A and B are shown apart, each in its own frame.
Chain A
Amino acid sequence: MKNRLNNRLGLGGWLGGGRYGVDRYAYAFHRLTGLGILAYFIMHIFVTGMRVGGQEEWERTMAFFNAPVFKAGEFLVFLAFIFHAVNGIRLVIVELACGIGRPHVPAYPYTNSTMRQRPFVVAVMILAALLMITGGVDFYFMLN
């Protein structure tokens, strides 16, 4: 731990994309969505805990959370989950050294891993957008 570098940039270091562009913003957004999901999840444990009170207690709780503001909040959590999950799968694949290209002798014009991964990042964002649109249609435009 002694030779660990100080994070002198603090929160700016977390959130700033710098020259890394979209990948870095995906990283920052992954963290933000993770924190949001964690906060919701802890509340969700207590809300679902209302089942212990039986059917009537559960129905009262659901009636309370049926307000449009909670519905909108629920949809935000859904969007956060989609982004976090799809981007997380990309991160696991990259962590396992897949999809980043084979090592090779540098030759002009030089490439870097960030640029080699860019199509993967774009594909993941398109997939996340499609899932978000599908969920949005289900949430707001389809009647049960």
Chain B
Amino acid sequence: MRESRLWFWHILSAIVIVFLLGAHMGTMHMNTILNSLGLGSADPVDSVEVFRRSASPVFLVAYIVLLGSALFHGLYGLRSMLFELSLSKSVEKTIGGLCAFAGFALFGYGTYVAIVVYRMHGVQP
């Protein structure tokens, strides 16, 4: 029951990631094409542009949702792959614990960064 619930969240997080990371990848790596269609910004990694986006509440929420979804999806996927190697119960428990710890620690750090940068209210061009 617990595993099927985790699997459900794995699929749900994948759907969230496809939308949010798809938008991120499009903005960051297809910006020239999007620009020519009048949809992108000039240089997405330019510091003024980065800090302007980071000061937006929409970006803050999207960033935290994407961070949580991607960490859960990735670490649950890694855990599932390792569990297929027919490990002992104690090793499985240790791997599960390490994945959960890494997930919470990275989520905490990423959220802290997002909130600190959000409160900077951008930078002067």
- Chain A residues close to B by CB (< 8 Å): 1, 4, 6-7, 10, 14, 31, 34-35, 37-38, 41-42, 45, 48-49, 51-52, 54-55, 58-59, 62, 74, 78, 81-82, 85, 88-89, 92, 95, 134-135, 137-139, 142-144
CA distance A68 to B89 in the complex (A): 45
Residue pair B33, A142 in contact (C-beta under 8 Å): yes
* Number of interchain pairs (Cβ within 8 Å): 92
- Residues of B contacting A45 with CB < 8 Å? 67, 106, 109-110, 113
Residue pair A49, B45 in contact (C-beta under 8 Å): no
- Chain B residues close to A by CB (< 8 Å): 11, 14-15, 17-18, 21-22, 25, 29-33, 35, 42-43, 45, 47-48, 50-51, 54, 67, 70-71, 74-75, 77-78, 81, 84-86, 89, 106, 109-110, 113, 116-117, 120, 123
Residue pair A88, B14 in contact (C-beta under 8 Å): yes
Min CB gap B64→A, angstroms = 12
- Residues of B contacting A92 with CB < 8 Å? 11, 14-15
Choose from B14, B15, B77, B123 the contact partner of A38 (Cβ within 8 Å). B77
CA distance A56 to B89 in the complex (A): 49
Choose from A48, A51, A137, A138 the contact partner of B31 (Cβ within 8 Å). A138
- Residues of A contacting B116 with CB < 8 Å? 52
Residue pair A144, B32 in contact (C-beta under 8 Å): yes
Min CB gap A50→B, angstroms = 9
Residue pair B32, A143 in contact (C-beta under 8 Å): yes
Min CB gap B73→A, angstroms = 9
Nearest residue, chain B, Cβ from A39? B74
Residue pair A134, B85 in contact (C-beta under 8 Å): no
Residue pair B117, A52 in contact (C-beta under 8 Å): yes
- Using known A-B contacts A51-B50, A55-B51, A95-B11, determine if residue A88 contacts B18 with beta carbons closer than 8 Å: yes
Query: A48-B113, A51-B113 provided; 19 other pairs, C-beta below 8 A?
Result: A31-B77, A31-B81, A37-B74, A38-B74, A45-B109, A45-B113, A48-B110, A49-B113, A52-B117, A54-B123, A55-B47, A55-B123, A62-B45, A138-B29, A138-B31, A139-B29, A142-B33, A144-B35, A144-B43
Residue pair A34, B74 in contact (C-beta under 8 Å): yes
Residue pair A85, B21 in contact (C-beta under 8 Å): yes
Nearest residue, chain B, Cβ from A31? B81
Nearest residue, chain A, Cβ from B117? A51
- Residues of A contacting B54 with CB < 8 Å? 51
